[in-house]
Structure formats: structure tokens, C-alpha cells
A and B are shown apart, each in its own frame.
Chain A
């Protein structure tokens, strides 16, 4: 984004007095009308609920009578829940595992697919197919695969290579990695497509120059592809962090919070507050806290990577 062209006095816009009329003549009113539906939809379905949720975090309500204001009581309640520490830890663990397993994989796949000739479209489609499967269907499918008895699908396959039946979801240590595995399988495809598109924009001369210098394929990837994709990678990384922090479907459907709270995440806590215990104030308070934490993380992230994101 270039900020080089500044407005100089000789190119300053016409004085305000005439600005409104010329804005109107230039079709300003039409642009407002075009924007209005989108603004209204966002206001009703997005900003309104957010504002309502924020308001509810300072209230106590049973959804029948008018709500009463309770100040910071909900926040205190949520923060002194002994399960919160465990949930936060589990969420961070899920994010870290997700990054370890789920971040390099789409990159490798994209590099691999981009090197192919004729079969490229087939592999692109294959890698995207898991994304098309509805998340709940995918999770329930994998839940059957993860059956811990020796006759479960994965245990049978592992049995062929001599690895004993694994407990998967029934073990506090194995449950989270099992969730991450399914989550990676389900979402890697969309990231692969993004990387493939970004890689198409890398200039071919760079690769030719590197080849002339005798660079092998890995050297080319490391020195050319990755630096060129830096901007995309940084954005995808941040989006993945924000997305995986809000993981809910996997813990909910696979284990309901996991053997002994091993897979309870923050979103699951929020869900339980709202729909199992009927405490909307606490649920909103925890959501507000989570949003604040993620906002801080994003700000820190952008500040820390500001040097690398300039093209």
C-alpha cells in the first residue's frame, strides 16, 4: 500500500461549501442506498448481537423478566471458576498443536501440488474435498474411526503394522492430538488453495535466476517461495490462531469436554454457561474476555511482524 502521493495545496479538493452539492451530484446518495442493505444486515445480525452480548455481560437475566445490572459480578464469577485455567491451557495446547501439525502441512501440500504438471487440478480438488464435508458429519465419522476397541477402524489399520490398540479419545493425553488431527484434515484444503493462488503470483524470473545459480528445489522453496509468500503466510497464521482459539465443534462432538476435562476449551465453557446452566451473564462475560484477549494478541502480532509485512 503506497502512501507516497500526498495531497499538495494545488490539488486540494474544492472548499466544503460546495462539497456537499458536488458530492450529491456525483451520485453520493446512490452510494448510500447501495450500502444501506449491507449496513442494515450487519447491524441487525452482527453488530447488534455483539452490543447486546456486551451489555448482557454486566447483567443478570433469566430471559423472562427484565434484566438487572450486576456490575462486574459476572466477570468475577467467571474468573474464579477453577475450570477456567484448565480450559485456557487446553485451548492454548490446541492452538499450538494446530500450528505444529496444521500450519506446515498446507504449505508442503501447496508446494508439492504447484510442482506437478497435468495432475495438478485433480490433487487440488482432492485436497479441498474434506473442507466440503459438513463439519459435524466429518467429526461424527472420525468419532467412529477413533473407536478404541481393537476392532475400531484406525486400530485395525494400526494393527496391520503391529501397533497396539490405542485409546484415542479415551485417554486424557491422546484426546487433544486426536482432535487436532481431524481438525487439520478438515481445514487444510482451504489453506492449500490460498497458498496455491499466492504462489501463482510469484515471478518466474526469480526461480530461473535461482536455477542458474544451481539451487535445488528445497533451496528454491526456502529462499524464494516462502519469502515471497510472507504476507499471505502472516495473515493466514493470525487467522488460524484466532480461529483455533474458538474451537468448539470438535470438543463438543468428540468428547463433550474430554476424559476428565482434558479437551474442555473456552468456547465449551461459554456454551455450558449459556445453554446448560442458563447463565447468560456469565457466558457473555467470558466471551467478552476472550474477545479482548484475542484483540490484544492481534495487536501484538501486527506490531511484532510490522517489519516483515511490508512488501
Chain B
């Protein structure tokens, strides 16, 4: 075989790389040049079928690139998914930024799978803007911040106004207690034959719902430090007995019990479910994705048990990949700040609302803002004329969402705890002779073993 021609290029390249590495080492602190050219990959680009959303998204990206000429943004349709995240991480294919649900950041921080962006947030000036209560979900024990919360919400009761009317109930007065939920469900089933009340039970949503309703009964699921399970007590027992009652005595829960977020939204949009516990985002699932008439969609606060305990908060957090370079981290945080500008800058807020409105997307969906409350009210005032979500239907929910007691999701291994609790709820709904005490005792044992690993 002939010897390859030697060129000077590889040698020069190696020297250059070595030089930069050495320079980096010698200064002791990585010198992050805020104007250095950098490319970042962002996630959650809307797919091609959602053309209007995609157009709005691309417009925002173009605007960001114009404001920051040194940053090139590539968008991917990658979304966070429990099943693909690990594989993406292993393959080094994670986008620079990712949107993950509230249950994930603590686990990811513990596993070292997200980047620490405390310094970058301070540099960009975001730390002052954000609601400190909202930040805790992405902070570790020392207060270092690993993500920016967006789309926060509190769980409430989603109901079908048309079915309420058909059952002779006032659609503006959703049930406020679980006794009322049971009564209303029975009446809906009697009048219309469909399931009056349904609950998500599979894919970890069973445990999620169980935990939220336990909160509403004044109980907790996990100790504050995340080392012990605390759900083997009266609040949990009460809710499971009522569920059992509704399923087997009242028969107001229909005949299908294996639901996750997507399938329950489908059934609900088809008018086959009267009520279920959900989030404002279900409005998007039901109307945009499953063609439900927005006028039929209603939402109220989480029904309370005798020892009212409030409801569970949830949401999404924007995080940065652990593989990102310091320059990329800074660019990513600038992107987060830019996204938030749509809520803090009047012109941008109005422009964004207008684009979404013209694209037929929901504007003004109620929720919890990651901003401080005054800023949020100011934002709502700006976009008022573009709000196309029937806010009257959400009135019972919005009236209480800022005053109801909010408890965040369990801190330690939330997804695993939920998975273990899925079977408790499924057992109650599919096995008439289910022994609730034994189920709770077993689940406590299993979860404690999990938490101690």
C-alpha cells in the first residue's frame, strides 16, 4: 500500500486544539466569550402537520437569531420522552435545550444528567425576574438552579358542560367536594349512560392522580426529604374506598379503566366521560387534537375531601443538556430569556398572541405563571383582545388557582413511586374484592424499598 501524502493540515489542527485546551487549563476558569459564534439545538419544534404553530415558532427563532447574530439556532422536533431520553443521552444526541415535566428535574439533577445554569441565569438577568417559589422544582439542595420553569399549572377537575346540562346539573357549578363528585357522576350516568367520572390509571398517570387526590384529602405521599412513603393512612384509604364505591356500587365509571393522558382525552372529547382530574393543557388535547367543541369544555378547581388539602402543581421545566459547552449554555439561557420576553415585553407579547390567534391556536390558557404575579396580570392585560379560550368556562378554576394550597410532586423518584401506585388504583377499579388495606401496605413496602436504593 502506498504511504499517504502527508499534509500539514492535520498537524496544525492538532496543535490548535492542544493550544486551546492548554489555554483553557492555564486560566483556571473557562473564559466564556458572550459573543463567540456558537450553535445550539433547541427541542420541541412543532411538526409539519401543525403548520401555523410551526410558522410562529420559526418566526420567533428568526427574531432571536437577529437579536443575537453570533448564535445559530437549529430546531429539532425532539421532545422529552421517558423512553427515548436515556438513549439520546447515551448517544450524545440530546438537543442543547429540552423541556421536561416537573417530575424529572430532581431525578436528573441527582443523576447528573442536566447542566448547572445558575451563573448563566444571573449573567442574563433572569434570576430576578422569576418567581422564587417556581424555581424550587429545578434547584438542588445547595440552591444551584438547573432549569427554568414554564407552563406551570395546578390540577383541577375537567368536565363536559354538555353532559352536565343533559343530567340537569348547572354547568357553571362544578362539584367542590368529592361527595358531590360521586353524586354528580351517578346522575350523569343515570341520565346519559356514559361514564360520569373517569380517572387515568396507566403509564404512571395512575400514581400521579392518586397522589394529587391524596393531597386534596389532606394527605401526603412522601416525606419532605423523600426517604419514606406516607400514603398508608386515612386520606388515601378514603379516596380508594370512594373510587371502589363509584366503580362497583354506583357503576358510574363506565367499563374501561386503562387510561393514560392521551386516551382519556380522546374518550372525553368524544363525549363519553363526564368528569376527570386533569390540567388546563387537556383543553389543547381535547379541542385541538380531538376536535371537541370548546363551548363544552369546563374546568373547575380540584374537589376537596373532608380535610381539604389543596391540589398538586405541575408543569414543565426548560433544562440544558449536560454535554453542552459553557458557550452553548450561555446561548441556551439567552434563548430561555428571549422566550420569556413574550410575557415581559408588551410589544412581543401582543405580537406573539396575535400570531397564535390568527393561527387558530389557544391564547390565554389559564395556568400558573413562572413570573411574579404583578407581571403576570400585566401580561394578561396586554393580550386581552386576542384571548380565544372560553375563559368563562374556566372561571371556577381561575378564581381559586392562585389561592388554593399547592403541593409539588414527590421529590424522590416520583416516576417510580407513581408506577408502583398505578397498580393500587387499577386493582381497586378492576377487582371487586380488592383489599384496600393490603394494597396500601404492599405499595408502601415496595416504594420504601425503592426509595432506599
Which residues of A are interface residues toward B (Cβ below 8 A)?
A: 62-65, 77, 80, 82-83, 147-150, 165, 167, 169-172, 255-261, 271-272, 274-278, 280
Contacts and interface: CB of A to CB of B under 8 A. Distances in A.
Contacts of A167: 255, 430
B256 A170 contact: yes
Given A257-B422, A260-B430, 9 more contacts: A64-B111, A172-B431, A255-B202, A259-B258, A259-B426, A259-B429, A259-B430, A259-B431, A260-B424
Contacts of B190: none
Contacts of B86: 63, 274-275, 278, 280
B403 interface: no
Q: Which of A62, A65, A171, A271 has the most CB of B within 10 A?
A: A62
B232 to A, nearest CB: 16
A171 to B, nearest CB: 6
B112 A149 contact: no
Interface in B111-127: 111-113
A172 to B, nearest CB: 6
B90 interface: yes
Given A277-B416, A278-B111, A260 B445 contact: no
A236 to B, nearest CB: 32
Interface of B: 82-87, 89-90, 107, 111-113, 202-204, 254-258, 260, 322-323, 413, 415-416, 419, 422-424, 426-427, 429-431, 434, 442, 445-446, 449, 453
Given A83-B446, A261-B423, A276 B256 contact: no
Main secondary structure of the interface of B (DSSP, over half): helix
A256 B203 contact: yes
Contacts of A150: 255
A167 B445 CA distance: 30
Contacts of A77: 453
A272 B419 contact: yes
Nearest first, the 6 A-B pairs at minimum CB distance are: A260-B427, A259-B430, A256-B202, A148-B255, A275-B83, A63-B90
Nearest to A166: B255
B427 A259 contact: yes
B226 to A, nearest CB: 15
Contacts of A260: 423-424, 426-427, 430-431, 434
A170 B258 contact: yes
B254 A64 contact: no
Contact of A148 (B256, B415, B424): B256
Q: Which of B107, B203, B423, B427 has the most CB of A within 10 A?
A: B423
15 contacts: A63-B86, A64-B112, A147-B256, A149-B256, A150-B255, A167-B430, A170-B256, A257-B422, A257-B423, A259-B430, A260-B423, A260-B431, A274-B86, A276-B83, A280-B86
A250 B255 CA distance: 21
Given A260-B430, A277-B415, A64 B113 contact: yes
Contacts of B416: 276-277
Contacts of A172: 427, 430-431
A170 B453 contact: no
Contacts of A259: 257-258, 426-427, 429-431
A147 B259 CA distance: 12
A64 B89 contact: yes
Contacts of A62: 111-113
Q: Which of A77, A80, A147, A272 has the most CB of B within 10 A?
A: A272
A139 B419 CA distance: 23
A276 B82 contact: yes
Q: Which of A147, A165, A172, A255 has the most CB of B within 10 A?
A: A172
Contacts of B446: 82-83
A90 to B, nearest CB: 12
